[in-house]
Chains A and B, each alone.
Chain A
Amino acid sequence: MAHSGPMTDWRKAKLPVFAFLAPATIIYTLFMIYPLIDSIRLSFYSTPSGGEMAFVGFDNYRTILGDPDWSATFWNSFWNNMKFFAVHMLVQNPIGIALAGILSLPQLRFRNTYRTMMIMPTMLSVVLVGFIWQLILSPVWGVGVDILDIFGLKSLFGPWLGKEGSALITLSFISVWQWVGIPLMLIYAALLAIPDDLVDAAIVDGATHFEVFLHIKLPLVLPTIAMVSILTFVGNFNAFDLIYAVKGALAGPNFSTDIMGTLFYRTFFGYQLQLGDPSLGATVASLMFLIILAGVLFYLFAVQRRLARYQL
């Protein structure tokens, strides 16, 4: 963050400064920071039906991580979430980087049109995207088969969303299709910020555009790629809408698409098989918070710091 010049001394304008800051700080604290902290507090309490709320220490955590039924569900959703994240890292981000690289080629015509079109799915609600793909992949409609048929791959088609083995991967790819726009935009912006003379010099020296991208541009946008990765991590471990829209709260078939977000919803609100429990819900949310925090801290201290040093 570059700060321009010395700032005005606040003592000349105490009241205005306070008035400028208070409304935003109060709403933010009341509806964001307080609930986050209070949720962690609630995870140490239990509300037996009809009874008073009682402090139970780490009991809820012991239930979720220790009770055989709960821990199996928890780890299942955790590993599913890791797979969901892995697909985004291995497919979404490389595609986003490659497209951003191509779009930033000098003298490319129609670049704005391409970019606008490619980012379009990112603007849609996850719920709509889920339904769109559910229709396309539906064996009843047959349009998915027809599309594969164009490429002679008709035999590959199957009820991907309905099978335990393929449902999660299929949903991950649907999510990738939607969110490619984020790495695309952020990395494209970073690529544009690279000074032209750096690239021109290499081109004059006989480097191809691909070499320039690989050896000059890519290392320079590594910090942005790291940021995209952590955004992907936070977004993925907070995901819910897509699975809920396509598979419902039970994340079928047989919980094969259950991720942290759907587990949180079921624990909090309950579903056909079980009543909701706010304390256990808060516990799941706190565990999600710890996972996301671990990712963010890893990014801040390990990745970002190393990258900063590398750049100097």
Chain B
Amino acid sequence: MMMNKNIRREDMSRAVIVHAILLTYTLVALYPIFLVIINAFKSRKGIFKDPMGLPNAETFSLDGFTKVLAKSNFELFFFNSFTVTVVTIVIVLLLASMAAWALSEYKFPGNTWLALYLAVGIMVPIRLGSVSILNLIVELGLINTLTALVLVYVAQGLPLAIFILTEFMHQIPKDLKEAARCDGVGEFKIFFAVILPLIRPAVATVAVFTMIPIWNDLWFPLILAPGDGKQTITLGIQQFIGQYVTDWNAVLASLSLAIIPILFLYLIFSRQLIRGLTSGAVK
């Protein structure tokens, strides 16, 4: 096909404009994060003298990091967050896929109502029940434990996980289950041996969706487990920075220590997240 030269030039200039807009916004999105990370690797003098420059031989310093690691329980905060997040994800994924399977596979009275009941939590923030949650956790003797956080986060994560997984379960071909049933395989075994392996891609998406709000939450760590030794990374950083507001090296280093792991995880899982969204898992 022949291409008109003018059209081609128009296309070119249009592409330039489009990329200029996208680059500008990318810069707006990333520059603040970049700025914090580069300055964390500078000496105090470097931070103030040349805030926008990259660390160089003269300004490079790891002072901030050594201070944070010496003064705060950073490793402990990280470990607490990690434990809570991983345990919650495992429980949410197991319980949600079991429930989603039952809801999508079996016809029983009240099926639709139960699905609706379990979906209410997608729209209603669990935070509004905090007064009663605190009472409940106190009564169970779980105050200041990571278990308290796990229980609340499981309840918070289940609705969306069940909703997404139910949609996904509907797409599993009927023949697979029928073949297994004809061979006399039990319902539990069908779920664990046939269905669970099949939904692996959806599980990854749900895991990312469940993980981010838990890892980043401040509210529940603040009210349920604020005590020494149980702080999650978000709460620990919040308290640490509150104490050392004027120590710029320590503040910048602690921010970087909290940002870098989540950025790293995001880069690993971003494809999974986007695929989950664009494959129509969320409608």
Contact of A31 with B18 at beta-carbon distance under 8 Å, contacts A189-B277, A240-B219 already known: no
Asked if B30 and A24 sit within 8 Å, CB to CB, the answer is no
Q: Is residue B85 contacting chain A, with contact meaning CB distance below 8 A?
A: no
Q: Which of B30, B124, B167 contacts A120 (CB 8 A)?
A: B30
Contact A123 B282 (CB under 8 A): no
Q: Which of A106-125 contact B (CB under 8 A)?
A: 108, 110, 112, 114-121, 123-125
**Cβ B29 vs Cβ A121 within 8 A:** yes
Binds B, one of A68-76, A82-90, A163-171, A288-296: A288-296
A23 CB contact (under 8 Å) in B98, B259, B263: B98
Q: Is there contact, CB below 8 Å, between A282 and B132? A: yes
Q: Which residue of B lies closest to A21 (CB)?
A: B102
Taking a contact as CB atoms under 8 Å apart, the answer to whether A33 and B52 are in contact is: no
* Cα(A293)–Cα(B102), bound, Å: 29
Does B191 lie at the interface of the complex (its beta carbon under 8 Å from any beta carbon of A)?
A: yes
Chain B: CB-nearest residue to A296: B123
* Chain A 139-186 interface residues, beta-carbon cutoff 8 Å to B: 141-143, 146-147, 177, 180, 185-186
**Complex Cα gap A92–B238 (Å):** 26
The answer to whether A31 and B131 have CB atoms under 8 Å apart is no
Interface residues of B in 17-57 (CB under 8 A from A): 18-19, 21-22, 25-26, 28-30, 32-33, 35-36, 47-48, 51-52
Do A34 and B132 touch across chains, with their CB atoms under 8 A apart?
yes
How many positions in chain B have a CB within 8 Å of any CB in the partner chain?
A: 95
Contact of B234 among A8, A118, A125 (CB under 8 A): A125
Closest Cβ of chain B to A168, distance in Å, is: 19
- What residue of chain B has the Cβ atom nearest to residue A130's Cβ? B238
CB closest residue in chain B, given A105: B18
Q: Which residues of A contact B274 (CB under 8 A)?
A: 112, 115-116, 185
Cross-chain contact of A5 among B174, B234, B258 (Cβ < 8 A) = B174
Cα A292 to Cα B123 in complex, Å, equals: 9
- Verify B218–A244 contact, CB threshold 8 A: yes
Q: Nearest residue in B to A269 (C-beta to C-beta)?
A: B223
Known pairs A135-B252, A289-B128; A125 contacts B258 (CB<8 A): yes
- Whether a CB of chain B sits under 8 angstroms from the CB of A304 is no
Find out whether the CB atom of A120 lies under 8 angstroms from the CB atom of B29. yes
**Nearest chain B CB to A212's CB is how many angstroms away?**
14
Q: Is the CB of B124 within 8 A of A36?
A: yes
Chain B residue at minimal CB-CB distance from A9: B107
> Which B residues are CB-close (under 8 A) to A24?
95-96, 98-99, 118, 158, 162
Given known pairs A5-B174, A282-B132, the reply for A123 and B266 (CB within 8 Å) is yes
Residue of B111, B131, B188, B248 with most partner-chain A CB within 10 A: B131
Query: A55 in the interface, Cβ–Cβ < 8 Å?
Result: no
Q: Which residues B141-188 have CB closer than 8 A to chain A?
A: 151-152, 154-156, 158-159, 162, 166-167, 170-171, 174, 177, 186-188
The closest CB in chain A to the CB of B11 belongs to A107
- Asked whether, in the complex, the Cβ of B103 is within 8 Å of the Cβ of A16, the reply is no
When distances are taken between beta carbons in the complex, the residues of chain B under 8 Å from A38 are 129, 132, 135
Judging by beta carbons under 8 Å apart, are A135 and B251 in contact? yes
Q: Mark B89-126, 1 if CB is under 8 A from A, else 0.
A: 00000011011011111111001001001101101111
In the complex, what distance in Å separates the CA atom of A108 from the CA atom of B186?
50
Residues of B within 8 A of A238 (CB): 125, 127-128
Indicate whether A20 sits within 8 Å of B26 (C-beta atoms), given known contacts A7-B107, A121-B33, A127-B237. Answer: no
CB pair A120–B25 under 8 Å, yes or no, is no
In Å, the complex CA distance between A132 and B177 comes to 52
Tell whether A201 is near chain B: CB-to-CB under 8 Å. no
- How far apart are the CA atoms of A39 and B177 in the complex, in Å? 43
Known: A25-B118, A36-B124, A102-B21. A132 touches B132 (CB 8 A): no
Partner of B131, one of A6, A9, A42: A42
* B153 smallest CB distance to A (angstroms): 9
Whether A285 sits at the interface, judged by CB under 8 Å, is yes
Contact of A126 with B by CB under 8 A: yes
Complex interface: chain A residues within 8 A of B158 (CB):
24, 27-28, 32
Per-residue CB proximity of B236-264 to A under 8 Å, as 1/0? 01100100000010011001001100110
Asked whether, in the complex, the Cβ of B103 is within 8 Å of the Cβ of A102, the reply is no
With the chains together, A21 CA to B132 CA distance in Å? 25
Q: How far is the CB of A1 from chain B (nearest CB, A)?
A: 7
B114 contact from A25, A27, A31, A116, Cβ within 8 A: A25
Give Cα distance in the complex from A35 to B19, angstroms.
49
List, sorted by A's number, 22 A–B pairs whose CB atoms are closer than 8 Å.
A4-B174, A20-B98, A20-B99, A23-B99, A24-B118, A31-B136, A35-B126, A35-B129, A35-B132, A39-B132, A119-B270, A125-B216, A132-B35, A135-B36, A135-B252, A185-B277, A240-B218, A264-B130, A268-B131, A278-B135, A285-B129, A296-B123
User: What 6 A-B pairs are tightest by C-beta distance, nearest first?
Assistant: A35-B129, A31-B155, A125-B216, A20-B102, A16-B187, A10-B108
